[in-house]
Chains A and B, each alone.
Chain A
Amino acid sequence: MRCADEFRSREITTPLVEEIVRSLKRPVRIMEVCGTHTMSIFRHGIRSLLPDSLTLLSGPGCPVCVTPASHIDAFIKAANLPQVTIATFGDLIRVPGSKGSLAAARAGGARVEIVYSPMDALTLAAQEPGRIVLFPAIGFETTAPTIAATILQAERSGITNFMIIAACKTMPQALEALMADPELQVDALLCPGHVSAIIGADAYRPLAERFHLGCAVAGFEPADILAGLLSLIRQINNDAPRIDNCYTRAVTAQGNIKAQALLNEVFESADSEWRGLGTIPGSGLVLREKYRRFDGLHQLEIPLLPSKEPKGCRCGDILKGRLLPPDCPLYGTACTPLQPIGPCMVSNEGTCAAYYRYSGQKESRRQTQVERS
């Protein structure tokens, strides 16, 4: 599409890069917490345009990557029930649980369909009244209202064979938990575009104030991202952190009130386990009592069991910005996009996958250590 090309054009990005170089007065570490930002930064080679003293860290912004193995295991368990069809976003199917994946279940005969929208899953349920269609509900504040709207539609049209496993998460609580970690050194946050479109730029105010942290909400095109980075560098230079909304074509201060209302009608917050980050209070969304009949865990009596991370996978440290993918001993050897071990290598938005595809670095820096140990 034409407008996208215009956003990418060098005419716009070159002066932004030059201004970033001019403005940078000391080494700065900025975390981006949106999988789409991560992907865009790599795909457009933005890191290579920026000075070495500006470090970009990827945070827990990829919904697939932060879904813990316990939830993946529950999705697989549901898939293996003979009466159940799983209708899922495509990037979830290859994510490993503690044993196997949805793709492996499908190869073994389970019915797993890829959908683009939760509404497509509901359509499938309407077409096949003899089966239970279960949608693994992962995602952040942008996706949760789409699932809420789908559940409301299911209720209105009296479709009873549609269910979800509620595994959505909310961003501000996770960012609070991350920023409170004394080991994490981050000078400023590049806030997600579409999560912010829903929750509003003001949602980051407590975070900015409590941690004296610069925040910039940015869109996904290179010029958007560069404008966001420049805003953050200026905030750091002036020691005046605030919330700068650099994505006004989608984001307002208050966010999308309709979407918030949908979300609140169907879901309530609960503690939630994040892969690699552990359980974060109030960071998950579960169905309200009123909508309990759509709860697949409850209806199909599937337990959520504690689970282990894949052996040797360092996704947790990567999601916290402590390590870069090549610091993982499995990177590029045992773990590649074709043979992923951890979720960060599976999802298109995962940091390991983006690094592998676009950075040119295809091998772990730690390989020899592993061979010795």
Chain B
Amino acid sequence: MCLAIPMQVVEIKGGGDPLFDPQVALVENDGIRKEIRLEMADRVPAVGEYVIIHAGFAIRTLTEEEAEYNLSLMRQMATVLEEQGRLPEAPE
């Protein structure tokens, strides 16, 4: 039921009326576009940003940088490990 991979927003639609035309995000994957509800998103994403999705709802918005930063963090973790044989301690 979970889709773990963040999806990139290609369009924001609606918003004309909060009740009958709520804002939704269009995300695209493999040429298929899906409408994603934004009620649960911590903030409304901009086009080009990423959302983490659950059952048709965005549950978290990531900036492009955040998405890339997280990836590079994982890569760095690996490099540090290789060099020092240990992971940096996570901050408490």
On chain B, the residues within 8 Å of A223 by CB distance are 74, 77-78
The CA-CA distance from A153 to B71 in the complex, in Å, is: 36
Interface readout for A182-211 with B: 1 if CB under 8 Å, 0 if not? 000000000001100110000000000000
A36 touching B59 by the CB < 8 A rule?
no
Choose one: B19, B55, B67, B92; the contact of A3 (CB below 8 Å).
Answer: B67
Which residues of A are found within 8 Å of B66, using beta-carbon distances? 249
Contact B57 A117 (CB under 8 A): yes
B36-59 CB mask vs A (1 if < 8 Å, else 0) is: 010111100000000010111101
Interface of A is mostly: helix
Residues of B with C-beta under 8 A to A174:
none
User: Do B37 and A119 touch (CB < 8 A)?
Assistant: yes
Residue numbers in A under 8 Å from B19 (CB-CB): 156-157
- Pairwise interchain contact B56-A258, C-beta atoms closer than 8 A: no
Contact A256 B1 (CB under 8 A): no
- Give the chain B neighbours of A107 by CB distance below 8 A: none
- Report how far A198 CA is from B54 CA in the complex, Å: 11
Let me know if A315 is at the binding interface, CB within 8 A: no
B1 touches A259 (CB 8 A): no
Contacts of B5 in A (CB 8 A): 1, 3-4
A143, CB-defined interface residue at 8 Å: yes
**Candidates A1, A16, A143; contact of B29 at CB < 8 Å:** A1
The residue that A142 contacts in the complex, of B20, B59, B92, with Cβ under 8 A, is B59
Q: Closest chain B residue to A230 by CB distance?
A: B87
B67 CB contacts on chain A under 8 angstroms = 3, 249
Interface size on B, residues (CB 8 A): 38
Report the interface size for chain A: residues with CB under 8 A from the other chain: 60
Given contacts A3-B5, A35-B1, A262-B40, contact A256 B71 (CB under 8 A): no
Contacts of A89 in B (CB 8 A): 1, 55
A327 at interface by CB-CB < 8 Å: no
The answer to the question of A279 belonging to the interface, with a C-beta cut-off of 8 Å to chain B, is no
Q: Complex: how many Å from CA A116 to CA B54? A: 10
Shortest distance in angstroms between A73's beta carbon and chain B's nearest beta carbon?
A: 22
- Known A16-B81, A193-B4; judge A246-B90 contact (CB<8 A): yes
A139 CB within 8 Å of chain B: yes
Query: In the complex, what residues of B have CB within 8 A of residue A156's CB?
Result: 19-20
Contacts of A40 in B (CB 8 A): 4
A181 at interface, CB cutoff 8 A: no
8 Å CB contact of B41 from A91, A258, A349:
A258
A289 partner residues in chain B, CB cutoff 8 A: none
Choice from A12, A116, A219, A220 contacting B56 with Cβ under 8 Å: A116
User: Are A244 and B37 neighbours in the complex by a CB distance under 8 Å?
Assistant: no
B residues near A197, Cβ cutoff 8 Å: 52, 59-60
Query: Is the beta-carbon distance between A258 and B42 smaller than 8 angstroms?
Result: yes
- Chain A 12-50, CB-CB to B under 8 Å as 1, else 0, gives 101110110010000000000011100010000000000
Would you call A114 an interface residue if the criterion is a C-beta within 8 Å of the partner chain's C-beta atoms?
no
Mark each residue of chain A from 83 to 116: 1 if its CB lies under 8 Å from any CB of chain B, else 0: 0000001010000000000000000000000001
* 19 CB < 8 A contacts A-B: A3-B71, A6-B74, A7-B74, A12-B77, A16-B77, A35-B2, A40-B4, A63-B1, A89-B1, A120-B56, A156-B19, A194-B4, A197-B59, A220-B4, A242-B92, A244-B90, A258-B39, A258-B41, A349-B1
Give the B-binding residues of A (Cβ under 8 A). 1, 3-4, 6-7, 11-12, 14-16, 18-19, 22, 34-36, 40, 63, 89, 91, 116-120, 139, 142-143, 145-146, 149, 152-153, 156-157, 193-194, 197-198, 219-221, 223-224, 227, 230-231, 242, 244-246, 248-250, 256-259, 262, 349
